[in-house]
Structure 1
Amino acid sequence: MAVAQGFRSSKQDFSFGPWKITAAKTHIMKSKDIERLAEEMKLPALPEMLFGDNVLRIEHSDGFGIEFNAVDALKRVNNMQDSVKVACAQEWQESRADSEHSKEVVKRYDWTYTTDYRGTLLGENVSMTPSPTTERIDLEKLKAREQIVFFEDVLLFEDELHDHGVSMISVKIRVMPTSFFLLLRFFLRVDGVLIRIHDTRLYHEAGSDFMLREFSARESKISELKHVPPPLYTDPNEIAQYLPLRFSEFEKLDFPVKE
């Protein structure tokens, strides 16, 4: 079977002390699998580009860890109501409805695929325990020019909202000699309406018995971004600083205690 030019499935494993970091990137999910998944999730449509087998996994030799995958991210999407009302929403939803069933009422759901997913904790019998914390990830320390021994960026899903913007979630990790840092970012731009960014940052320092996980939700109506050059609207890294913080949560993920 011919592979699309320029695309190659890849799976990388990287060892960091007792940790095994796996980054798998492969093709968009097949349509029959997408249909089955949409039915399970009670969503009338799923993102145009859904990478159901893409994953970033961080697993300890004792069997616990955390992973980031598209299916679990979509499970956090509201399948009962719209999150954004725009003039084009009805027309857009109707265009996504299966033509055979076009006479049925199109089910309301969050067509922006907004998710507050923060990762999936792993472990059969043991897993990390999240609890609120006053500790913070030292972002200044992360800006220091420490050697990066491993880096990967994995796209989980993306949808162009029928040419009315973009909704996407991706996860990137960088491993330094003494720590690793991960950013899971959900980015939504509905043209002429709003921009929303949900970030999950995860940090672990070698030798410590916990990870720090920080979640933040930022959002602004585009009408309130008149002072920002429009070309920045399409760049999550640039626009993030202009979006007011709506919500944040700080957690410590404690490792299971050995018996």
Structure 2
Amino acid sequence: MTSTTTAPPRPFDHGSSKGIQLDTWLLTSTILPILNATESDAAQAQLHLPLPEICFGNNTLVLHDSATNLQFQWNALDALKAVGRDTEVKVAYADEWARGQANSGSADVAVQKPFDWTYTTVHPGSVSLSPSPSPTSPSSSAPTPQPQPPQFLPAPPTHPGIPLHLLARQDIPILFYDEIPLFEDELGDNGIAELVVRVRVNSTSIFILSRFFLRIDNVLFRIFDVRLYMALGSGEVIRESKGRQAGYEEVKARLPFDKPTDLTPLTDINWVHAQLEALATSPPPSAFPPSSRPSSATPLRHPTAGGSTGRLTPSASGASTPTGRTAEALGRMDLGSESGGESRGARSLPKWEAEGVKLEVLKLPVAGGESN
């Protein structure tokens, strides 16, 4: 079993890369500009699909254990590899446009290289073992096969899941926080698709949230969250994957009653996330009389300290605490909700296989390559 942290945490900041060393675990986030033309051409050739309008192909979040060479990584290109080759989702005016084409006698336009134009990805992050030197035998030049990384397996029914009550505690100082954008696309001015990874580290745990958010105006909202939690010394990593979607009008119906024409909340990802969670486990607002409709859910946010510098600064105890823009960003990092229920009955939306909740556990290997 992995031992608890014995050496003091060591945050570092090298400009485009920063992170923290926790005993044998090294967490590094790298934030660079979007891909240039040459890099974009190479990425498109590799992926066989057009890149999103804004692609941070060189941004990464890497969590590496030097004792076992186990590594978790999030990056844009791996996420885009999980984008499907087709989708049933259409923009709001698609049917009207198709009727216009038919009435005008225009020939159908064939899609040469179909792909999911919404960029919906359910990539949970990559798990690997860092390459190690491959000894060769005197009689053969073939390298020794590298061991395979441990796999996430379905959690037993009695597993408690991610301990949200511990993540919400305010008495445990935050040692490191960062937000790593991976890609964004405005879908031809029909909405937005974006993928962002956030990480938060304290003296007892590492928590990572990868969130894909999709809004197609007048059609639907969709969120796919992957939460990764590791309690230092526990010997396991918990991963929760959760897909939620709902019709645009379903979510719009949950706007505050005192400001029914203010559509600003529909652009607030945290607000939309809270409504999707509520819709997944309760009837839509139209099922209630106006006087008894439930109030809009409020997303769970982690309380943070204020500030103005936007950087990690040492506290009196020597730990780094988030300030300024970093603290504000931390307030936008949804820890999750206790609700793990499946979605309501079928809606008039395309079926999405990722809708629902999945809880998995990975047993950490020990030095020498065996799992706990």
Please state which band the TM-score falls in when normalised by the shorter chain.
0.7 to 0.9
The match for 1:147 is: 173
CA distance 1:110–1:9, shift in 2 (3 Å): farther
User: Secondary structure of 1:163's partner?
Assistant: coil
Determine what percentage of the aligned residue pairs are the same residue. Answer: 35
Q: Quote the Cα distance in structure 1 between the aligned partners of 2:19 and 2:92.
A: 46
Following TM superposition, by how much is the alpha carbon of 1:105 offset from its aligned partner in structure 2, in angstroms? Answer: 4.5
What amino acid maps onto 2:89 in structure 1? V
Q: Find the residue that maps to 1:112 and give its secondary structure.
A: coil
My pick for the range that moved more, 228-237 or 217-226, is 228-237
1:234 aligns with 2:267: yes
- Structure 1, unpaired ranges of 5+: 1-7, 92-102
Report the Cα offset of residue 88 of structure 1. Answer: 4.8
Runs of 4+ in structure 1 deviating by more than 6 angstroms, as ranges, are none
CA offset digits 1:83-112 (Å, max 9, x no partner): 411245698xxxxxxxxxxx9745322101
Q: Which residue of 2 aligns with 1:57?
A: 62
- In structure 1, give the amino acid aligned to 2:48: K
Q: In the superposition, relative to structure 1, how do residues 64 and 202 fare at CA in structure 2: closer, same or farther (>3 Å)?
A: same
Contact 1:112 1:188 in 2 (8 A): yes
Structure with the largest fraction of strand = 1
Instruction: Please tell me whether the aligned partners of residues 91 and 217 of structure 2 are also in contact (alpha carbons under 8 angstroms).
Output: no
1:256 Cα deviation from its structure 2 partner: 2.0
Shifted more, 14-23 versus 227-236: the winner is 227-236
**1:258 Cα deviation after fit:** 3.5
Q: What RMSD, in angstroms, separates the aligned Cα atoms of the two structures? A: 2.1
Instruction: Give the TM-score normalised by the residue count of structure 1.
Output: 0.86
Provide the C-alpha distance between the structure 1 equivalents of 2:91 and 2:167, rounded to a whole number of angstroms: 39
User: What SS does structure 1 have at the residue aligned with 2:174?
Assistant: coil
Matched, 1:171 2:197: yes
Shift of 1:13: 2.9
Alignment CA distance shift 1:54-1:83 (3 Å): farther
Say which of 187, 191, 195 aligns to 2:213: 187
TM-score by length of 2: 0.61
Evaluate the alpha carbon distance shift between residue 89 and residue 169 of structure 1 in structure 2; reply closer, same or farther with a 3 A threshold.
farther
State the one-letter code of the partner of 1:221.
G
Aligned equivalent of 2:227: 201
The secondary structure found in structure 2 opposite 1:181 is: strand
CA distance in structure 1 between the partners assigned to 2:200 and 2:252 by the alignment: 34
Matched residue, 2:117: 111
Report the counterpart of residue 30 of structure 1 in structure 2: 36
Task: Give the conservation status (yes or no) of the 8 Å contact 1:64–1:126.
Answer: no
Q: What is the match of residue 153 of structure 2? A: 131
CA distance in 2, matches of 1:168, 1:105: 24
Alignment partners' CA distance in 2, 1:226 and 1:151 = 32
Tell me if structure 2 keeps the 8 A contact 1:9–1:26.
no
Counterpart CA distance in 2 for 1:197 and 1:106 is 28
The AA in structure 2 aligned to 1:247 is G
Highest Rg: 1 or 2?
2
Conserved 8 A contact 1:65-1:128: no
Cα deviation per residue 1:38-71 (whole Å; 9 max; x = unaligned)? 232221x210111111000000012112010000
Residue matched to 1:94: none
Contact 1:172 1:183 in 2 (8 A): yes
Structure 2: distance between partners of 1:157 and 1:163: 16
